[in-house]
Chains A and B, each alone.
Chain A
Amino acid sequence: MKIVVCVKHVPDAQADRHFTAAHTVDREGVDGLLSELDEYAVEEALSIAEAAGDSTVTVVCMGPEVAGDAIRKALQMGADAGVHVLDDALAGSDALATSKVLAAAIGTLEYDLVLCGMGSTDGMMSVVPPMLAQRLGLPQVTLAGKIEIDGSAVRAERDGDTGTEVIEAPLPAVVSVTDQINDPRYPSFKGIMAAKKKPVTRLTLADLGLSSADVGLSAAWTVVEDVAARPPRSAGQKITDEGDGGARLVEFLAGAKLV
């Protein structure tokens, strides 16, 4: 099987995250890493590849130079190759442009399955997988907590509020997976060493037949007018339970007219 996994390099949520003067996410002046939710997609690809045998896993990433770290982490986990789309014109792209670029990059590859995470930990829009499916003209099987590849079809379970839906679709398909699906492996020392020799293809917009007019901040179909830091919540009262904690809690709630 030939599996493609889309990954994103994001600012570390445990560290400082902020915006540039142009109101875009600062991706270069911060600590970044492979988006945690994409690790589940990489892991799932590796498991499927191992079970099927004679398979390859290629990760595709759009981002500045530093985004190569996300590709490297996936290669260290065991992916076979990477594709890095980078071009100065891409900075500030909206989700619509991102999905257009990723679809074009995926279009340069042969694949049976495109895997994605459930959303990036910075934007958390969760819209790129359905947009990719639409642009590639492929079935969309998204937010799967469990998947099985059965010959030329995929069978998935998708958890919702009222229950679980079981979905079937023919391959090739775009599948996104949640953090319930598996436990991503840590790269082994052997994996870290092996990653250094794995190929990473670098592509520009011109390589994809796209114009800078299609992407980037100036082409975006939304504009951010203002970004305001919200004052952090200040801690309120704190008491220690001395046998009356529950009662005092309810007194507080009653005072706030919440009970």
Chain B
Amino acid sequence: MAEILVLVDHVDGAVKKTTTELLTLARRLGSPSAVVLGPGAESAAGTLAEFGAAKVYSVPVPEFGEFLVVPKAEALAAVVAAAGGPGTVGALLVTSTPEGKEIAARVAVSLESGLITDAVDVQAGPDGAPVTTQSVFAAAYAVTAKVTHGVPVITIKPNSVEAEPVTGAESAQVVEVPVTFSDLAKTAKIVERKPKAKTGRPELTEAAIVVSGGRGTGGDFSLVEAFADALGAAVGASRAAVDAGWYPHSNQVGQTGKQVSPQLYVACGISGAIQHRAGMQTSKTIVAINKDPEAPIFDLADYGVVGDLFAVLPQATAEVTKRKG
């Protein structure tokens, strides 16, 4: 059976939801092996095994936190080689985050392998090799593709699949892989980190529910946040809201921000321009609240409320709180 490598998203060994999704997909293609870059492999091993990893490759060195992207790419390429390269490794799966795509890009060049980004599904094809599905041109087309050269390097969007643990999982063997970094890997130095205050809300691309605010909020996101908190949702913002300085760019949903695909997307005071739609069009259920009955967002919405979000949201929040209480 082919070995399928999955780059683990983690913070010091605490495994993120996206990795459990990738491992679930990896099981369709072969036997998953997780790759932990940076310290934490031992703490992560239990969760990784729970979602099917038979093996955990570990590179517990400090360079990943000191230099931008390149050490991770070099280490990952080294692990693929250590695992046996194209003969044994059926695919390398990486989460489609901005950094994930950069790592995948450099690994593809190093390994001389084809690269597919932003897959929303992966299945085993008739010959066992991975076949991907991508949603392109603001979800106007579904593209089916394969890698034809080298080890398929595939980046996968969060929320593409519901993670499933395996029954009767055995523990995963941790194997340390030695890596020597090039001088180039140490040229872009991370000299400072300015952390962001935690909101306690779920991460935008992983959340099951997203409530977003746009121009219609006039800069006051308090009602959007209250509704989000009642639902246990993440908060998103349109490009207009971010450009106006009302909300951070890391919450922007759209072509130049995050692309999300939650179970429920609630657009409040957002007109629905194509730049925004490209970021949320594949959400399972879309709800819109907007004063303008002609707003394009209503063409996408499964349920639309023509009205003032300042009136609709507080009532909705109270209803949700009542039902949950």
Residues of A near any B CB (own CB < 8 A): 13-14, 17-19, 23, 37, 94-96, 99, 118, 121-122, 124-131, 134-135, 137-143, 145, 155, 158-170, 173, 178-180, 220-230, 232-233, 235-241, 243-254, 256, 258-259
Contact = CB atoms under 8 A, between A and B. Distances in A.
Nearest to A40: B256
B190 interface: yes
B250 A159 contact: yes
Contacts of B195: 162-163
A130 B314 contact: no
Given A99-B109, A134-B106, A225-B145, A166 B193 contact: yes
A230 B305 contact: no
Given A162-B196, A237-B304, A258-B209, A125 B323 contact: no
Interface in B98-140: 98-99, 101-102, 104-106, 108-110, 112-118, 131, 135, 137-140
Contact of B256 (A37, A169, A246): A37
Given A139-B188, A249-B316, A254-B323, A241 B305 contact: yes
B26 interface: no
Contacts of A94: 114-115
Contacts of B113: 221
A257 to B, nearest CB: 10
Interface residues of B, number: 91
A167 B188 contact: yes
Contact of B312 (A223, A227, A232, A241): A241
A13 B135 contact: no
Nearest to A234: B299
Contact of A250 (B105, B308, B316): B316
Interface of chain A: mostly helix, strand, loop or mixed: mixed
Contacts of A240: 293, 305-307
Given A160-B98, A169-B189, 15 more contacts: A18-B137, A121-B255, A124-B255, A127-B101, A131-B105, A139-B188, A142-B102, A162-B195, A163-B195, A167-B190, A222-B145, A227-B142, A236-B304, A238-B305, A241-B305
Given A142-B69, A221-B114, A245 B193 contact: no
B285 interface: yes
A259 B302 CA distance: 15
B312 A233 contact: no
B28 to A, nearest CB: 17
14 contacts: A14-B274, A128-B105, A167-B190, A221-B113, A227-B142, A228-B143, A235-B299, A235-B304, A245-B289, A249-B303, A251-B319, A252-B287, A252-B303, A259-B320
B196 A170 contact: no
Contacts of B101: 125-127
A143 B140 contact: no
Given A96-B114, A127-B104, A229-B141, A253 B304 contact: no
A178 to B, nearest CB: 7
A245 B319 CA distance: 11
A141, A161, A220: residue with the most chain B Cβ atoms closer than 10 Å: A161
Contacts of A237: 302-304
B302 A246 contact: no
